Chain A
Amino acid sequence: MAGSTDCTSSISRRNFIRKTVTGAGATAVVAIAGEGAHAAEVSSITIPAAFAEAATTSPKRLEFPMTGAEVFARACKEEGVAALFCCPGNYNVIHALASTGIPAFGGRHEGSMAHAADAFIRITGEIAVCSGTEGPGFTDMICAIACANAARTPLLVVASNMSINQEDTEAGIQLGYQQPTTEGLKKYGKRLINPRRVHEYAGYAFRQLRSGVPKPVHLDFPSEVASAKFQNAEDVEFFHERTRYRTASRPHPSPKDIAAAVDMIKTARRPIIVSSNGVFYAKAFDALKRLAERAQIPVVESGAMKGQFSDASPLSANAAPGALASADLVLLIGQHCMPVVGEFAFGPDAKYIRIDLAAEDIGRNIPIDLGIVSCEKAALEALADAVPRLTHDSWIAEIAAARKKFEDQNAEYYRTGLTYPDAVHPAVIAKELGDFLYRGKLPKEQTTVASGGYGLARYVRRELRGFRPGQIMNGAYQYGAIGPDVAYTVGVSAAVQLGIGPQSPYKGHPIISTTGDGGVGYSIMEIETLAKYRLPAVVIVYNNNAWGTWSGAAREPLALPIHLFQENLRYDKVAEALGGYGEYVTKPAEFRPALERAYDLAARERKPVLINCQGRKEFWDRGKYPPGMLGKIEPGVMSYYH
């Protein structure tokens, strides 16, 4: 954390290695210190003193005279921007943002840092900024912007973009047309061309970010804007506080719509609520709980984050996929990314009430029986006030039975996984992780999880549970990128270390992320970012020597190598080399002890620990290694498409 002043480890790296030297940990020696006589000659990895100095430096309140970048940064500060994730570049803007005291994180790739910002927002509900330099730095962020767009994340993307004076000339390097590049990936975007309107366009940005259905906003800064100098407020054409350029007012439901919804709820035998992104961003958790409990309506979640409704409640249907098809009334609340018919498990006789901020989206894909345009919180509060006390005992019993069947199935997968002794099956990782997080020494609501990976995720999701808002960051949600997982880890861990929004009670605790060997290759360098900012995290890597897609090419010898890696790669050593720690696990029984060591170490040393779990690609072959590659049912614990 930038706030930490402790840049030296309380445990020496060598002592840690000695402690874990039996089995998996032994290999870490080579990564850190080399071998034999060379060990003593190698300098240890150190965090520059500048990090500690930054932590003790007071932020400054930006006052005139200011540059254009400073005017923008001041607007961001006053809007409550919670973090900046970037790489060097767009210097005037990122330096101004950092100078205000907005926590700033510099990483190894602009795309990763944009992913980190997306993840940060998904589990805090607060706005974060990502930034890249003109040209390559900006285009590096494209995948992350697309992910955030699909996840409906209010991500503020800023990038420098050469100068207006040299527009179209290709003078120098890195000039590009940024706004057309993000077309279709954002809610709003603007190349700022009039320095005097920089504050006005900050207003444009925050109006979009803080209203309606969120998506990314992209501003590109030519040098004339970022470096413009303003002596006083009059020099800036538009300079007002935020209550003058946007409203916090949100649409409320009509009483007629609420009455119609209550009538439908009263006559339904098996109603269910689908709680999604909109409930999270509206912070409608209490209203959701009140409605569910008063009318005894089960709740299932979908979305880019989970935990809006506690899985400890008997009304939670997240782990009861077998019951979903029985629902006769579905209340879709804040489900911004709508499935088409058949993508959710609900049957053909289910009726639908959709509550959403965007009238223009209600009725898309799934036909509605009632649409309500409203802030999710306002609608849930109105429904909770209006609905009578109801009982649905047999329906809740059906959900309980389906939950038991699902958990029995998971237990069977685990037992099967244990029968494969010479590699770690993903069912073992999933079950042991669930036991560790929710059925062991840790309070079950404590640990925030960045859920990622491909094949591994199909097992792990089945075991992950949410007991409070923002507990699970659903990495692959909708856009399906599997590479950002370590970058997501940065954003999630930063949010927890800063204690932002719903992460506040869990400030300081390590987070856990999951990924595969395909995914980790994209963003593993961000282990270094975790390490230098002292962000404690346990990164679980399922290493099966291949992309998860390999089995589709198993009978195509010329294509198969496209899907394969070298076998037994040592991602744990990479983590060690980047200032974190590593564990290498090759047998099922080794995983849980390694997880416990990793968690303790992450908590104690405030560092990332990567657990490299050696699996085998053939575990996806259902015929040879049942249960093979698993699929999913949505919504609920397995969902990530919608």
Chain B
Amino acid sequence: MTAALQKYSDRGVFRGLKTTRRPGGRYEYTFTWLMRRSFTLSYDPARRVLSFKNLFPNVTARSPIATALREVVAERSTNRVPAHKRLDGRRVQASCGIRGGGFWLTMRVRGEQGAYAVQQLLGLVNELFLVLHETFPDYVAAEFGLSSE
């Protein structure tokens, strides 16, 4: 995972990538990315799960935002998206939900598919942001500092 993420840092997509080992063997990656905000991605090697635990704060379970975000994640595993975007269920499995008032997103990695998982997860996060930008600009303004002009 570290190598896969480092490639994005080397290309300048991320800024300030920092890797921290946590108790239990977990890895925590912090980096500046979309909206020039800090993201925290964790990886649990034992469970083989990549997680953005509070990707979108202050989202309630039955809100229109939560519904829209869930739809994008669910659609990603269907043939409604182009083949190159479609999640290969033999390689990864995406999940999302609301916990503690925030939206979380995980990618379970099957086999040696770490690079694929990172690529798909980041692409998915980018598209979730696009949904927010297009349909919920007030949320992006409130939570991510987008200009309300």
Partner of B126, one of A348, A369, A630: A348
Contact A633 B36 (CB under 8 A): no
> Does B101 count as interface, using CB distance less than 8 angstroms?
no
Q: Kindly provide the distance from the CB of A302 to the nearest chain B CB, expressed in whole angstroms.
A: 15
Q: Kindly provide the distance from the CB of B92 to the nearest chain A CB, expressed in whole angstroms.
A: 16
Contact A367 B127 (CB under 8 A): no
Contact B126 A549 (CB under 8 A): no
> Does A45 count as interface, using CB distance less than 8 angstroms?
no
> Does A20 count as interface, using CB distance less than 8 angstroms?
no
Residue of B nearest to A549 (CB): B148
> Does A341 count as interface, using CB distance less than 8 angstroms?
yes
- Chain A 78-106 interface 0/1 with B at a Cβ cutoff of 8 Å (1 = within): 00000000000000000000000000000
Chain B count of residues within 8 A CB distance of the other chain: 30
CA distance A23 to B113 in the complex (A): 66
**Chain B residues, Cβ within 8 Å of A348:** 8, 13, 33, 119, 122-123, 126
Residue of A nearest to B142 (CB): A552
Contact B85 A632 (CB under 8 A): no
> Does A321 count as interface, using CB distance less than 8 angstroms?
yes
Partner of B137, one of A270, A341, A629: A629
Q: Kindly provide the distance from the CB of B87 to the nearest chain A CB, expressed in whole angstroms.
A: 14
Contact A630 B135 (CB under 8 A): yes
Partner of B130, one of A269, A345, A454: A345
**Chain B residues, Cβ within 8 Å of A627:** 135
**Chain A residues, Cβ within 8 Å of B137:** 629-632
**Chain B residues, Cβ within 8 Å of A631:** 132-137, 140
Contact A325 B126 (CB under 8 A): yes
**Chain A residues, Cβ within 8 Å of B122:** 347-349
Q: Kindly provide the distance from the CB of A562 to the nearest chain B CB, expressed in whole angstroms.
A: 14
Contact A349 B85 (CB under 8 A): no
Given contacts A341-B34, A342-B34, A367-B12, contact A349 B123 (CB under 8 A): yes
CA distance A551 to B136 in the complex (A): 13
Q: Kindly provide the distance from the CB of A288 to the nearest chain B CB, expressed in whole angstroms.
A: 25
> Does A212 count as interface, using CB distance less than 8 angstroms?
no
**Chain B residues, Cβ within 8 Å of A325:** 123, 126-127, 130
CA distance A326 to B127 in the complex (A): 10
Contact B149 A633 (CB under 8 A): no
**Chain A residues, Cβ within 8 Å of B133:** 631-633
Given contacts A348-B8, A367-B11, contact A326 B84 (CB under 8 A): yes
**Chain B residues, Cβ within 8 Å of A366:** 12
A interface, CB within 8 angstroms of B: 269-270, 321, 325-326, 340-342, 345, 347-349, 366-367, 369, 394, 398, 401, 454, 480, 549, 551-552, 622, 627, 629-633, 638
